[in-house]
Amino acid sequence: MRQRLINKTEPQETNISSRSSLAQNTIEAEAISLQSLLFDSTINKQDWIEGLKYHSKTLTNLLLNNQIKEFNAYLSSQFSGKISNLKPSAELSKGQLSEFKKGLIELDYRPILQDLLQTAILIEHSTIPPYLTALYSIKDGTNVLASQIIRSVAVEEMLHMIMVCNVMNAVSIQPSVNRPQNYPSYPMKLPMNVDFYVGLETFSSNSIATFIAIESPSNPLVKAPKYTPEIETSNLLSRSAVQENNFWNLENMKDFMMQNVHTIGEYYDVLFFYIVVFQIIAYYKEHGTLPQNFEELNKGGIFTGDPAKQIRPEQYYGSGGKLHPVDALAGVILVFQEIKGQGEGADDSIFDVDSSQFEEGAELAHYFRFKEVFHEHFYVGGDYSPFTDENGMMPVTTPPVGKPLPVDWSAAYPMKPNPKIADYQSNPALFEQGKAFNMTYKKLLDAIQAAVEGNAEELPKSVMYMYALKEQAIGLMSQPLDSQYNAGPTFEYPTN
């Protein structure tokens, strides 16, 4: 995957339509309805997975692209009849179907969303130590532009983690960021179907290539930037024999995600779909009917959290991105738009928001920022016509060809990849420094944890700990560990 993502010269050809085409409210006649997907237990597992793919893409693309009118039409078409109108197959009695619907209505969404949202926190958390490690390994006074890019992304990943905590608090689930089980262990694979490992490495073309893989967009095409050299800066579901299934349970969801989710953006799409589904179920439980539009679906339902636990923009110390509090489905949409836009680009562009909102352009999404470092060129000002199709779209693999971005790959400490505190036991001084770094990182997470538990005044302490982390990391990375490598931060949970 890494070589596929960082290909320097050959754009990939693809017939996959862009994401916007999925948001056109064209409901395939042969696709099973969302109502049947939720309430018809005659669907076997494979059909359930295919239905989930279709409706999660349709629903999320409409809502996350602010196509509320089209979503209302979609929802009305999917929920045009009452649940009781579903006709059980000959193999399933009405009584059995009724029991199945009752089980779905009474399903407790909290443990399921807790698992999915905590995994989202782990995904965001897993990126922060690698980004900080590469950043801290750059020697002072060198690679200024690359340092700025990596730092900006790391800060925004912390913002993402906090906003996922806002979503959890909005649905009355306590988030956790500072317990041992919440710590990433490197090297690791992200909890999706990916074929690369994420680790703690010094600043190098290899580590930046990994960062590109982490932030890989789910859409293979992107709008080509305008050439401005003066600027410097299927047939899804067939009915089959009844099988013994437990739909909408943790096992099925994990199975689907591990096999069918390949990017962070795709994970958030499926997560968003489940949040909407549980909101639909909550609406039905309360009203006895299915929602027909976004206004009915937006508030109440699963959004029962304490507003005092929301981290708000004025309380956040970061400089990149926008922090969104959550009290309804509309807030979740803003959070996921921000996270996906900053990671892979918004509106099929290379920018993290709609660039038309800015007179002088917009900031690039993470994936494209890292590609600028890897290829040592900026995107803006480049001519992408050789890579662009008749619709103005180019493969995301297209390299930046604008103004040069100078990179000195040798100006970084030769840190041992994925160090462990146990590596320093024979060197008492390094061992104590490594433990001190891990304790500081734990204090940073403790401050975030206190904030998302309702003590927002603790959040500014994170700034102090961030400065201390850099000093301690450089103290480690500037010391030889053996004849080949220097020491480095381990980001492990403190044991004593």
Query: Which pLDDT band, with edges at 50, 70 and 90, does 160 fall under?
Result: very high
| 17, 412, 473, 483 from 211: Cα distances, Å | 26, 17, 20, 28
In the prediction, which pLDDT does 317 show?
64
> How many CA atoms, within 13 angstroms, populate the side-chain half-sphere of residue 429?
6
pLDDT tens, 333-368? Answer: 999 999 988 887 666 778 875 444 333 345 899 999
Q: Is there a contact between 314 and 42 (Cβ–Cβ < 8 Å)?
A: no
In the prediction, which pLDDT does 29 show?
39
Q: Is the pLDDT of residue 105 over 90?
A: no
Residues 260 and 379 in one domain: yes
Question: Once rounded to an integer, what is the mean pLDDT over residues 372-392?
Answer: 93
Least confident of 22-36, 45-59, 69-83, 162-176: 22-36
Amino acid identity at 374: F
Structure-block tokens of residue 366: 């993470």
* pLDDT > 90 fraction of the chain, expressed in percent and rounded: 59
Q: Where a domain ends, among 388, 410, 432?
A: 410
Residues 458 and 406 in one domain: no
Q: Where a domain ends, among 410, 436, 456?
A: 410
Please provide residue 485's backbone torsions phi and psi, each rounded to the nearest 5 degrees: -125, 160
Query: Which pLDDT band, with edges at 50, 70 and 90, does 219 fall under?
Result: confident
In the prediction, which pLDDT does 19 show?
39
Find the helix packing angle between 45-64 and 329-344, rounded to 10°: 90
Question: Once rounded to an integer, what is the mean pLDDT over residues 126-146?
Answer: 97
Domain, as residue range, for 426: 413-496
Residues 332 and 425 in one domain: no
Q: Please list the alpha-helical segments (H only) found in 289-365.
A: 294-298, 329-344
Residues 387 and 440 in one domain: no
Q: Is there a contact between 81 and 285 (Cβ–Cβ < 8 Å)?
A: no
Q: In angstroms, how far is the first alpha carbon of the chain from the final one?
A: 39
| Distant-in-sequence, close-in-space partners of 187: CB < 8 Å, separation ≥ 6 | 197, 198, 199, 417, 418
Q: Is 327 exposed, middle or buried (0-12, 13-18, 19+ CB in 10 A)?
A: middle
Q: Is there a contact between 200 and 488 (Cβ–Cβ < 8 Å)?
A: yes
Angle at 154 between CA 318 and CA 143, to 5 degrees: 110
Residues 446 and 363 in one domain: no
In the prediction, which pLDDT does 102 show?
55
Question: Once rounded to an integer, what is the mean pLDDT over residues 121-142?
Answer: 97
Q: Considering its fold, how many domains does the chain have in total?
A: 2
Q: How far is CA 262 from the centre of its chain?
A: 11
Question: Once rounded to an integer, what is the mean pLDDT over residues 37-58?
Answer: 80
Residues 435 and 406 in one domain: no
Q: Is there a contact between 377 and 401 (Cβ–Cβ < 8 Å)?
A: yes
Q: Is there a contact between 86 and 44 (Cβ–Cβ < 8 Å)?
A: no
Q: Is there a contact between 207 and 340 (Cβ–Cβ < 8 Å)?
A: no
Query: Which pLDDT band, with edges at 50, 70 and 90, does 103 fall under?
Result: low
Work out the number of other CB atoms within 10 angstroms of the CB of residue 353.
20
Q: Is the pLDDT of residue 39 over 60?
A: yes
Q: Is the pLDDT of residue 416 over 60?
A: yes
Q: Is the pLDDT of residue 99 over 60?
A: no
pLDDT tens, 221-230? Answer: 888 887 755 5
In the prediction, which pLDDT does 352 show?
73
Greatest mean pLDDT range, 78-82, 127-131, 286-290, 466-470: 127-131
Residues 385 and 446 in one domain: no
Q: Is 244 exposed, middle or buried (0-12, 13-18, 19+ CB in 10 A)?
A: exposed
Query: Which pLDDT band, with edges at 50, 70 and 90, does 90 fall under?
Result: very low
Query: Which pLDDT band, with edges at 50, 70 and 90, does 167 fall under?
Result: very high
Q: Is the pLDDT of residue 145 over 90?
A: yes
In the prediction, which pLDDT does 48 show?
79
Residues 63 and 105 in one domain: yes
Comparison of pLDDT for 358 and 187, the residue scoring more: 187
Query: Which pLDDT band, with edges at 50, 70 and 90, does 83 fall under?
Result: low
Comparison of pLDDT for 163 and 109, the residue scoring more: 163
Residues 258 and 288 in one domain: yes
Would residue 40 be called left, alpha or beta, if left means φ above 0 and alpha means ψ between -120 and 50 degrees? beta
Q: What DSSP state is assigned to residue 264?
A: H
pTM score, two decimals?
Answer: 0.86
Residues 405 and 442 in one domain: no
Q: What is the CATH number of the domain that holds 266?
A: 1.20.1260.10
Please provide residue 489's backbone torsions phi and psi, each rounded to the nearest 5 degrees: -70, 145
Q: Comparing C-alpha atoms, which of 381, 353, 302, 342 is closest to residue 112?
A: 302
Q: Comparing C-alpha atoms, which of 324, 279, 28, 281 is closest to residue 167?
A: 324
Q: Is the pLDDT of residue 8 over 80?
A: no
| Distant-in-sequence, close-in-space partners of 46: CB < 8 Å, separation ≥ 6 | none
Residues 108 and 244 in one domain: yes
Question: Once rounded to an integer, what is the mean pLDDT over residues 189-195?
Answer: 90
Residues 472 and 357 in one domain: no
Question: Once rounded to an integer, what is the mean pLDDT over residues 185-191?
Answer: 95
Q: Is the pLDDT of residue 93 over 90?
A: no
Please provide residue 11's backbone torsions phi and psi, each rounded to the nearest 5 degrees: -70, 145
Q: Where a domain ends, among 410, 443, 467?
A: 410
* Summary mean pLDDT of the chain: 83
Would residue 20 be called left, alpha or beta, if left means φ above 0 and alpha means ψ between -120 and 50 degrees? alpha
